[in-house]
Structure 1
Amino acid sequence: MAASQNRRKAPDADAEREDELQYGHGPFSRDDLDEKYPTRPHNHSKTFPFHDLFLNLFNPLNENKKRPAGPAIARKKQGRHGARNSNPAEEKRNIIQRFISRWRNDVGPDFYPAIRLIVPEKDRDRPMYGLKEKGIGKIICKMLNLTDRSEDGYNLLNWKLPGQTTATRMAGDFAGRCFEVLRKRQLRTMPGDLTIAEVNALLDKLAAASKEDEQLPIFEELYNKMNAEEMMWLIRIILRQMKVGASEKTILNLWHADGEALFNVSSSLRRVCWELVDPEIPLEEEQSGIAIMSCFQPQLAQFQMHSFQKMVDKMHPTEEDPEFWIEEKLDGERMQMHMAEDKQVPGGWRFGWWSRKAKDYTYLYGNGYEDDNSAMTRHIRDAFDPSVRNLILDGEMITWDPEADIMVPFGTLKTAAISEQKNPFQGTQPRPLFRVFDILFLNDKPLTRYQLRDRRKALEKCLRDVHRRLEIHQYEKAESAEQIEPALRKVVAEASEGLVLKNPRSLYRLNDRNDDWLKVKPEYMEEFGESLDCVIIGGYYGSGHRGGRLSSFLCGLVVDGSSRPKEAHPELCFSFFKVGGGFKAEDYAAITHKTEGKWHDWDRSHPPSEYIQLGGHSQNKQYEKPDVWIKPSDSVVVEVKAAQVGGSEQFRIGLTLRFPRFKRLREDKTWQTALTLQEFIKLKATVEAESKEKEFKVDNSRKRNATKRLKKEVQIVGNDKKITTAYAGQTTAVFSGLDFCVLSDMVQPIKKSKGELEQIIKSNGGAIWQGPSARENMIVIGNKNVVKVASLVKAGVTNVVKGTWVLDCLRQAEIDVGKERFLVPFEPSHMFYVTADAEGGIQSNVDVYGDSYARDVGVDELKRIFKDMHPVQRTGYNGEEALAHLEGPGCDLKQQTKGRLFRGCTVYITHSNDPQRQIVANELLFGGAEIEEDLEKETITQVVVVEDQERQSVSDLRRKIAHSGRRKMPRIVSRAWVDDSWNESTRLDEERYAVVV
């Protein structure tokens, strides 16, 4: 009622002047706006002063963001009416609601002037300013007459670097650095009197200014009327980097219950504020659906869970309809295409193109068939059925190389589109290709409430492929989780983005990330990882809490003699990748300690090409230019784990690691022993060859012929004298050409002494060696945790195989009569210890229940497999799912939110009387892990030892796990792994915390 009364108040003179100021000089005149929005609301009073925004909204939200929160925690906060229970989420809503209520009462019903400053990144009506940190820094330097050699000038232009003499707490925070510089020179200490409407008008002028000479007077006017804190927040608004702990969803829903729904179908803050004025009047039904030429917020794919079966279960298949779809995830830009009949447009059809972030790309891809500046529409005239009057398509815009007939990485898309605009019919250059995977509107009817399966039928009826211009994205039907892994391995081998699993029974949910679309990307799959030892050659200063310090590093490959130009320096390195994830505080400290005083500022005009060469070297460009560089001889070597190798012109060798993550500092290595260019090329070729041999194919029949060669890296130094004991003579050639080292007796399922195993192997063609050595493909046999086996396990560089594998190979050779040699691929039950690199390949040799693909199992083993087949347990609420939904897209894996630290982990915590056990459990639970109380459960991925225990007790624990017959061995780690990961806000590598006997 109060809102309605306020809306009826007559605007005062100040409010009229502000309305003219805000809406009289923008892209639309006030008359145009009044015609388009005849019922648009008018405020009855002046808008709040600009400083009211940060004093009563931004600063309180920032303080609230810092409050500790956790599961089932209720904290008391003293309010105006006494003590009350509140948590940060509730208090955030209260802060926003109080501001909105004050606005309705004191200003009026038009909230648009405020919300476009509160969430500037969602404001589509104001163009981009064309200003980044360095551009604003130059303007401020000119405004204050600062040279780039002065302390403050240097600090502004090098905002990521530590200040020369000032405190480094603002390093990495450009707006904060501006505050430090401006407050020493500010003309006023108290906030100015500029209103929100006046600031909006000045920002409109700034967005229209394209040159520094035009932008400078606007900054000077703002500087003269604002204090340093106001300028700091204004700069954050210009950069669209607010980070106050409140999303547009929360704010829009507090303005009106249907605020988010209208924003999802329109992507317009203006429409939300001008069409949803009264909170008591709901959104009309015809306004709640998507519409032609109105950009909507698309549905997004959910992050992958830790098992394929769990992902399939999330899509709720039924016995009658177990189907789900597997699509390749494309490496491009999400795009929606709108098309409608319009006789006023040449050609009779009008098009609109918008990205996922609601950026209008119609200027690039074309507004009609006759658009001479089009990179797309002029080529797709024959794509649509004659019965189509209008439609909206959802898809991915990618770059296609017609000569190689392959997809090109995303970074080339805009360049290819601009080139296509200029030379539209040159057939050999890379060009945009629109891959369509959904249709959401057809002939005046929204389709979002229809199932995906029905939408797909409509898409295929109304759309025809235009070869390598506009195509329907294909999918593969599947009914079991086993069909996912071969598809994923296939796209990874082709250097693709990954997969998307889709539920064909699902509806389209705007601006939502849910389990109907599930994303499977190789960076989430540790079994694809490789570890490489590379030398650090450059550093990048961080932002936020890492401001003023090196937070990520450029790593390179040493160019050895055979590849190095004759005139080059012996220490020459080629840039290879950047890494910033997986480090903890002590890792940064160790690198700083070893390299202190050895870093040099990067000079773009005089790059250290004799030591370091970057991407773009041949074009005199400097891609991925570091802030500082270091000579390889002064640097350190780091071991890095990555998902895969992909092509990239950003780095000197033309390749880079995808999703690299720091594993450990190699203090035992120098730059001379780091990975060289030649070694990497050879390693890459080997891995690619092995990947082809390991290709996993699912079939309904027995897979006796599915032999796979597994990667075996033996790097243990030992006695390699060959055993010369007599044997009974070779009876088969099963192990011909293979080298074995037997370290212990066999105890299960039958007893065999070490000598008996050696005789069996030798009599079937194998060569026996006395100790593990660096011989290629040596197979180490161990069945008990004797000293030699324990030392190998501790070193963690080679697999240890049980004697049962030897017997299974011989047994299968007897079944497959006529085969001179049949090697059963390693299976989890064959392994006493598995390295991290081999774990994924070994697991792929059995199905989800442990049944072998390559050998016949006996009756007893089949009974055990049946016994272990547990039914899927379904529950309602899932904490892990809720955390993933709340976190949403854009989570920086370099600095994970604590709510997802341990997602995918199932942890057993040792029982002890230490009261710290519950703290460890709470950290794991809040980080998304599952706690398992039964050590026998095969789902356990980590065992956490809470307190220092006797060697014997840890040994008993390890023995119990080893003899449990499980398919995958969990990591046994100290509680420091949990604590350090929690403190560093990133999941650290477990190998560094392994508890050894």
Structure 2
Amino acid sequence: MQKSITSFFKPKDESQNSKYAEDARKKETKSASIEEKPKVPTPVKTIKEEGDENALPTVDSEEKMELEAPSPVKVRKMELNSGLPENEASEAYDPSVETYHPINDAYWKAQRTTPYLALARTFQVIEETKGRLKMIDTLSNFFCSVMLVSPEDLLPCVYLSINQLAPAYEGLELGVAETTLMKAICKATGRNLAHIKSQTQLTGDLGIVAEQSRVSQRMMFRPKPLNVRGVFAKLKEIANISGQAKITLVYDVFVACRHAEARFFIRSLIGKLRIGIAEQSLLTALAIALVKRNHINDCKAHKVCDIYKDEIADTTLILKTTYSQCPNYDIVIPALLKYDIKELQDRCPMHPGMPLRPMLAQPTKGVSEVLERFSGMQITCEWKYDGERAQIHLNKDGEISIFSRNSENNTPKYPDLIARSKSLVKGNVETYILDSEIVAWDIERKQILPFQILTTRKRKNVDIADIKVQVCVYIFDLLYFNGVSLVTKPLSERRKILMEHFQEVEGEWQFATALDTTDMDEVQQFLEESIKGNCEGLMVKTLDEEATYEIAKRSRNWLKLKKDYLSNVGDSLDLVVIGGYKGKGRRTGIYGGFLLACYDTENEEYQSICKIGTGFTDEDLRQHSEFLSAHVISSAKSYFRYDPSLEPDAWFEPVQVWEVKCADLSLSPIHRAAIGAVDPERGISLRFPRFIRIRDDKSPENATDANQVSLMYNSQDQVKNNQKSSDQMDMESDFY
């Protein structure tokens, strides 16, 4: 797409503007090729009492006007020649320019209310930008302007930038079906539903279709311009209602959309913003914006990143750390605006009822690696249970909450755990946050059942009397107790408090089976015992040294030691499905193979790692094809990294994670996983990958990352032996 051509074509005065608009309309009438004759729409009027600034547009069914459907290529040119002088600044707004000034270029500074069009233009520029750093810098420019000109709008701007309405654990979702949105678009523009559907299928993006339909529509009465605060409030209202009222609210906002607003408003409702900004990028952009704001008078804004690199790094670390322990922008953003960044962690403490990002373990495939990492340290080994990670909270009001590893609120799924929670505590316990694993439990045999049994348990509207799959909770950490955070204390101290104030109840609440040792032979024997106990392996942790709880990190202070279920690779990988290949033979009509990717957290991109076609039953393939067909996109995302030779028949939104096993990992000239980490030009791929299961408990951003892939590659015996041989040859060469 062309990038910010508004500044090149903007007319110099109003008369010239009108002339350009008239020429554009004539040219469009002459050249546009319209496959269908659009219905004659009704113009939008505004009904309101005098002085009512929040009036909503309504339709006068008696008045009608002609309009034409633009071709996609001409939409941008039509935007540039819309004919309204007051829109020139908004259409020309571009926060990506090198000379951007957060105050001077914030064209809304007189109104002190951020226009929704400014946010939409920012999204539009970011979508057209390829480089990750440039995308972050562009967003930081916009955020800095909002901080300085209209700070009350920063919170809704942040939520809209990651397509959320509230913290993830509140579970507030829009839930608007695509067909519902199409009907609203038809109602507002007079388009035929069949045409909207065909154009959406052609472009793969209802947002683009909505924008094209909206831009081509000339209106007798233009509704009041949208602002960020108002759109965010409407989206929350839409999320909380159902039925026909939802369509009405969507329509009310859509008829007021101008230019790119229509595209991103519809995308927000669908839940696919498509600009490539993940949460870590957003936090980085906020940190940079904060530094730019603080030094707005010291230097030109676009040079702040070069001059204040260290301050940006420190600010980013504080902000990300704060958000890890307090993942709620409703708390973090007001504190960010009001207090010094150094006070942020104290102003935004963790508390029960708000889930923390869990600490994760690094995979390893042998006891020898454990010895190498923890040599001389006091360690503990805990059985690794094959269940569902659960963070259990008790707040000061006595309410129990249960959250998944993705901060999803699973409280309604486990009413039985809440009912028996009082039996867990002993003594004076007012508040806590426990880290645990929930497993399926066989009451008669008193043993753990496979994870697949747990997945059959009902997720919503669970009645205790109807529960068929019983569960047992294995507790392995205490993160918060009676108003005090324990994450900075060593594991040995956290465990001591846990044992003093909580108790086991057989088959309901139990502590993770553990062994404290420094003997690697004991570790190996304990690993074998865990396998017999229907567990996956061991979690090996330090007790005193480097033994804090590292929120939201995959730390080498926790090592995951699994049984060697394959000859060379000691752990499975959790990979994201990004493409599908049409099946042949008995797989005709469905996808017979898939392109998988790991996630590079540093660059926030999905890197291809393998094509997979084994491990599936016919029923698996049918279900995968049915699910993924609903997430097809017209082309690869800008943050998909792959070789053109791997082009699939269909690209998918990164929405599902699969657990995959393989024979080993090897360097690849075409796959891009961890490229540059092991070899400057080649990535890493999987040999003989095999599908195991869907990981519903993991989001795509929590898939196996590129750093893990490189570590797994380097830990292979063959690679180690080759490295030793190479080192030996180098030594001999030096000697001679």
Aligned partners of 1:510, 1:335: CA distance in 2, in Å?
13
Please state how far the C-alpha of 1:893 moved relative to its aligned partner: 11
Q: Which amino acid aligns with 1:331?
A: G
Aligned partners of 1:543, 1:177: CA distance in 2, in Å?
22
Q: Which moved more, 1:305-314 or 1:434-443?
A: 305-314
**2:119 paired residue among 53, 59, 63:** 53
Please state how far the C-alpha of 1:463 moved relative to its aligned partner: 1.0
C-alpha distance 376-240 of structure 1, shift in aligned 2 (>3 A): same
C-alpha distance 378-99 of structure 1, shift in aligned 2 (>3 A): same
**1:269 paired residue among 329, 342, 347:** 329
C-alpha distance 660-147 of structure 1, shift in aligned 2 (>3 A): farther
3-state DSSP of counterpart to 2:337: coil
Aligned partners of 1:522, 1:580: CA distance in 2, in Å?
27
Q: Which residue of 1 aligns with 2:264?
A: 233
CA contact (8 A) 1:556 1:577 kept: no
Q: Which residue of 2 aligns with 1:117?
A: 160
Please state how far the C-alpha of 1:626 moved relative to its aligned partner: 3.8
Q: Map 1:71-110 onto structure 2 (within 5 A).
A: 88-89=132-133, 91-108=134-151
Please state how far the C-alpha of 1:106 moved relative to its aligned partner: 1.8
C-alpha distance 122-899 of structure 1, shift in aligned 2 (>3 A): farther
**2:363 paired residue among 289, 304, 322:** 304
Please state how far the C-alpha of 1:448 moved relative to its aligned partner: 1.7
Please state how far the C-alpha of 1:402 moved relative to its aligned partner: 3.1
Q: Which residue of 2 aligns with 1:346?
A: none
Aligned partners of 1:890, 1:452: CA distance in 2, in Å?
28
Aligned partners of 1:907, 1:439: CA distance in 2, in Å?
32
3-state DSSP of counterpart to 2:226: coil
**1:183 paired residue among 208, 212, 235:** 212
Aligned partners of 1:378, 1:362: CA distance in 2, in Å?
11
Aligned partners of 1:281, 1:207: CA distance in 2, in Å?
33
Q: Which runs of 5+ in 1 are unaligned?
A: 1-15, 22-42, 68-87, 157-162, 343-348, 366-373, 531-541, 558-570, 592-611, 617-621, 630-656, 664-835, 838-877, 909-928, 941-997
Q: Which residue of 1 aligns with 2:559?
A: 518
- Residues 99-129 of structure 1: CA distance to partner in whole angstroms, max 9, x if unpaired? 2221122213552121111123483287533
Q: Which residue of 2 aligns with 1:7?
A: none
**1:153 paired residue among 175, 182, 197:** 197
Please state how far the C-alpha of 1:628 moved relative to its aligned partner: 11
Aligned partners of 1:402, 1:358: CA distance in 2, in Å?
29
Q: Map 1:667-678 onto structure 2 (within 5 A).
A: none
Please state how far the C-alpha of 1:194 moved relative to its aligned partner: 1.3
Aligned partners of 2:562, 2:177: CA distance in 1, in Å?
32
Q: Which residue of 2 aligns with 1:406?
A: 448
CA contact (8 A) 1:252 1:260 kept: no
Aligned partners of 1:515, 1:447: CA distance in 2, in Å?
20
CA contact (8 A) 2:174 2:269 kept: no
For the pair 1:466 / 2:518, whether they are aligned, the reply is no
C-alpha distance 272-525 of structure 1, shift in aligned 2 (>3 A): farther
Please state how far the C-alpha of 1:221 moved relative to its aligned partner: 2.1
Q: Which residue of 2 aligns with 1:632?
A: none
C-alpha distance 124-626 of structure 1, shift in aligned 2 (>3 A): closer
Q: Which runs of 5+ in 2 are unaligned?
A: 1-50, 57-108, 291-314, 599-606, 630-656, 665-675, 685-697, 731-736
C-alpha distance 465-514 of structure 1, shift in aligned 2 (>3 A): same
Q: Which residue of 1 aligns with 2:45?
A: none
Q: Which amino acid aligns with 1:503?
A: T
3-state DSSP of counterpart to 1:264: helix
Q: Which residue of 2 aligns with 1:824?
A: none
3-state DSSP of counterpart to 1:214: helix
Q: Which amino acid aligns with 1:253?
A: A
CA contact (8 A) 2:207 2:264 kept: no
C-alpha distance 552-277 of structure 1, shift in aligned 2 (>3 A): farther
Q: Which residue of 1 aligns with 2:422?
A: 381
C-alpha distance 226-339 of structure 1, shift in aligned 2 (>3 A): closer
CA RMSD of aligned residues (A): 5.4
**2:568 paired residue among 527, 533, 536:** 527
Q: Which amino acid aligns with 1:47?
A: T
CA contact (8 A) 2:121 2:260 kept: no
Aligned partners of 2:199, 2:564: CA distance in 1, in Å?
36
Please state how far the C-alpha of 1:445 moved relative to its aligned partner: 2.6
CA contact (8 A) 2:412 2:462 kept: no
Structure with greater helix share of residues: 2
3-state DSSP of counterpart to 1:198: helix
C-alpha distance 933-364 of structure 1, shift in aligned 2 (>3 A): closer
- Residues 603-630 of structure 1: CA distance to partner in whole angstroms, max 9, x if unpaired? xxxxxxxxx97379xxxxx85564799x
Q: Map 1:948-963 onto structure 2 (within 5 A).
A: none
Who wins on radius of gyration, i.e. which is larger? Answer: 1
C-alpha distance 361-19 of structure 1, shift in aligned 2 (>3 A): farther
Q: Which residue of 2 aligns with 1:445?
A: 484
For the pair 1:250 / 2:284, whether they are aligned, the reply is yes
Q: Percent identity?
A: 13
Please state how far the C-alpha of 1:436 moved relative to its aligned partner: 1.6
Aligned partners of 2:354, 2:593: CA distance in 1, in Å?
36
C-alpha distance 122-377 of structure 1, shift in aligned 2 (>3 A): same
- Residues 861-904 of structure 1: CA distance to partner in whole angstroms, max 9, x if unpaired? xxxxxxxxxxxxxxxxx978xx99xxxx856899x876666544
Q: Which residue of 2 aligns with 1:259?
A: 319
Q: Which amino acid aligns with 2:228?
A: I
Q: Which residue of 2 aligns with 1:209?
A: 241
Please state how far the C-alpha of 1:225 moved relative to its aligned partner: 1.9
For the pair 1:357 / 2:406, whether they are aligned, the reply is yes
Q: Which amino acid aligns with 2:235?
A: L
Please state how far the C-alpha of 1:423 moved relative to its aligned partner: 0.5
C-alpha distance 455-494 of structure 1, shift in aligned 2 (>3 A): closer
What TM-score, normalized by structure 2, do the two folds share?
0.57
C-alpha distance 179-364 of structure 1, shift in aligned 2 (>3 A): same
CA contact (8 A) 1:385 1:464 kept: yes
Q: Which amino acid aligns with 1:407?
A: L
- Residues 562-586 of structure 1: CA distance to partner in whole angstroms, max 9, x if unpaired? xxxxxxxxx9x9x99986449999x
**1:131 paired residue among 172, 175, 190:** 175
What TM-score, normalized by structure 1, do the two folds share?
0.44
Aligned partners of 1:613, 1:933: CA distance in 2, in Å?
42
Q: Number of aligned pairs? A: 520
Please state how far the C-alpha of 1:146 moved relative to its aligned partner: 8.0
